[in-house]
Amino acid sequence: MVFWVNQALLSFTLLIAAFSMWRMGPAFKRSKFAGPIALIGLAGLIFLPEQPLYFESDYHRCEFISFCNDDGRESYLKVVTWSLISISTALIGCYTIIRGSRIYAERNLAVLTIGWFFLGVSWWSIAQSPWFEDAYTRLDVLAWMVCFIFGIVGTVYILSRIIRFTENVTPKDPPIEPLNDNEMRLVTEMIRRNLGDGN
Amino acid sequence: MLGFDFSIAGIESLGAMMIIAMVFICYCFAIHLIVTWNPYHRPAIPLVSSLILCMGPMLAMSLEKDGDSSFAEMLEIAFLFTSLGVGVIVLWMPIILAFVTFLMLIVSRKNPSEDPLIEMLEN
C-alpha cells in the first residue's frame, strides 16, 4: 500500500519535473510529456490514499514525524485543495484578462469581465482559508516567512557560484574552422533568398 | 516520535526556516537538472552540490533521533521539508496576488500605442 506521505512527495516531485520540462527548449518545441506528467502529479496530490488502519501492517510506518496521521492527512489535503483553487483561478483570471485587454487585439469587455470574475474567485478562496489570517497576525510566522526568503536568496546565490565555478572549470571547445567556399556560397544564397537581392 | 515545534520564535526556528528554504530550492534544482539532462549540459558538479545541500540536513535530522537512518525516514523528512517550503510560499500568496491584481488593473486600462516598437525603444 502506498503511504500518503510518499505519494504526496512523489506527486510534488512530478509537478516540479513537469514544470521544468515545460519551460525547457525553444518556445516552439516544448516537451510533450510535461502536460501528462503534471496531470499525474496533480491527481496524486489530490487523491491521496487513506491512512492504514491500526490492524494493518503499514500502520506503524509513520514513526518519525508527528503529523502523518489521519488529522495530518486531512489538514494537508485541505491546504492543497484551497491552494490549488486559489492558484488555478488566479492563473485563469490573469490569462483571460490579458486576452480581453488591448494588448493583443481590441478590448473585449465580456472576456475582461470573466477574467476579473476569476481573479475575484481567487481572492475569495484566499479569504476562505483561515491560515492566512493566522499567519499575518503572528509576528513569529511573519519572521519565518522573511527568513524563508533570505534562505532562498542565499541558496540561489550559492548555486549561482557553483554554476559559475562549473563553467570556469569546463574545458573550452577549440575555435571552429572557418567556412569553406561551398559553405560560404550556401550561406550567401540563403541570406540572399531571405533578404532579397536589393531589387 | 519526534515532533517539530516551530512555535517558539527563537533564532533556532529562524535558522531552521533558512535551512528548509535551502533544502527546498536544492531539491527542486536537483529535479530540474535530472529531467532536463542533455548532451550540452555540464550538470555533474551542480547536481552533486545540490544533492549534498539537500540531503545533508535531511540525514542530520534523521540521525538525530537514534543515530540510525532508513530510507522511509528520509522520505518522511523530505516530505516534511518540501511541504513546509510549499506552505511558506503559499503564505506569500496574498501579497503576490495583490501585486498581480495591480498589474492586471494596469493591463485592463492599457491603450495600445500607435507604434509598439518606438514605445519599446523610448521606454
Query: What's the gap between Cα B41 and its chain centre?
Result: 22
What is the residue-averaged pLDDT of chain B?
Answer: 82
Q: How far is CA A53 from the centre of its chain?
A: 34
pLDDT higher than threshold 70 for residue A6: yes
Q: Is the pLDDT of residue A77 over 60?
A: yes
Measure the CA–CA gap between A177 and A29, rounded to whole angstroms: 30
Q: Which residue type sits at A82?
A: W
Burial, A32: exposed, middle or buried (Cβ in 10 Å; 0-12, 13-18, 19+)? exposed
Could you tell me the three cell numbers for A154?
542565499
> Which residues on neighbouring strands pair with residue B38, listed in sequence order?
none
Residue B6 has pLDDT above 50, yes or no: no
Identify the top-confidence range among A5-14, A20-29, A55-64, B110-119: A5-14
Which residues have C-beta within 8 Å of that of residue A142, sequence separation ≥ 6?
A135, A136
Residue B81 has pLDDT above 70, yes or no: yes
CB proximity under 8 Å: A 139-198 to B: 139-141, 143-145, 147-152, 154-156, 158-159, 162-163, 165-167, 169-170
Residue pairs between chains A and B whose CB atoms are closer than 8 Å: 174
Percentage of residues of chain A with pLDDT beyond 90? 39
Annotated domain spans of chain B: 14-92
Residue A83 CA to residue B87 CA, distance in Å, equals 9
Region of residue A25 (left: phi > 0; alpha: psi -120 to 50; beta: else):
left
pLDDT in tens, A81-114: 899 999 999 999 999 999 888 877 788 889 999 9
Window 92-111 of B: residues touching A by CB (8 A cutoff) are 92-94, 97, 100-101, 104, 107-108, 110-111
Contacts for A13 with CB less than 8 Å, ≥ 6 apart:
A41, B31
CB A86 within 8 A of CB B93: yes
B contact residues 33-92, partner A, Cβ 8 Å cutoff: 34-36, 42, 44-46, 49-50, 53, 62, 65, 72-73, 75-80, 82-83, 85-92
Residue B92: closest C-alpha in chain A: A145
The ipTM (two decimal places) reads 0.79
Residues contacting residue A188 through CB under 8 Å, at least 6 positions apart: none
More confident residue, A75 or B27: B27
Measured CA to CA, the distance from residue A199 to residue A192 in angstroms comes to 11
This prediction has a pTM of 0.79
More confident residue, A124 or B12: A124
Average pLDDT of chain A to the nearest whole number: 85
For residue range A153-165, what is the model confidence (pLDDT) as tens digits? 999 999 999 999 9
Closest residue by Cα to residue A45 from A74, A81, A16, A93:
A81
A66 touches chain B (CB under 8 A): yes
**What confidence score (pLDDT) does residue B23 get?**
93
